[in-house]
Each structure stands twice: as C-alpha cells, then as structure tokens.
Amino acid sequence: MSSFTIFHNPRCSKSRQALQILQQNNYDHEIVLYLDIELNAPLIEDILKKLDLSPRELLRKGEIDYKDNDLGDIEHSDQDIVNFMIKFPKLIERPIVIKGNRAVVGRPPERIKELL
C-alpha cells in the first residue's frame, strides 16, 4: 500500500472526488482538514516545494479574500502570499494530495494518479 496525505475540504466536490479515488483504490491515506488546523509557513512552504509551485500559483483567485487583499498586486512578496494563506486558508487551491516528496493539486481529481 502507498501512503498518501490529502489536504481536504469536505465541502469541495473536487476534494471529495479525489478522496473517493484514494478510498476506492484502497490507498492508505491521511486526511488533513486544512481549514480546521493552524497552518504555518514551514508547512505551506514544504507543500509548495513538493508541488513545484510558487505561492501565487496555489491561490484561488475567485475567493473574496483574494480580491479584498488585492493579491493580484505583484508588490506582494512570496512570503506575503504565504502569510495570507495562513490567515485565509480558503485561498489555497484544493485538494492537495501528497505522496512522499511529490504532490499534486487534484484538479481534475484524476491528477492524483500521477503520484502512483
């Protein structure tokens, strides 16, 4: 069995679909309800490294917190963006599925198969 971690939002259909893929294939997995935990910079930076993405690439641009904080402004540093993710975790694209040192954003959910 492979061990996966899914940063999951049960209210998100794509996140539910990704979790279902893990469950249907009997993959050992840990569910992290990232909206319910206290996020920190080292955790987010580790996830970004595994995703091979910049902080901006992981933002949900349609969220009200994105607009209210003018996160499209290039004056915000990567560290600023990470700090906004900590303060407003809904800004983080989901689901994120991690296996070892690799991760994918499960959009579409079938992308998690890249980790197999």
Give the residue numbers annotated as catalytic, written as ranges: 12
What residue has token string 């641009």? 61
Residue 2: left (phi > 0), alpha (psi -120 to 50), or beta? beta
Q: What's the rounded Cα separation, in Å, for the pair 71 and 61?
A: 8
Structure tokens at 15: 């996140």
The SS3 of residue 5 is strand
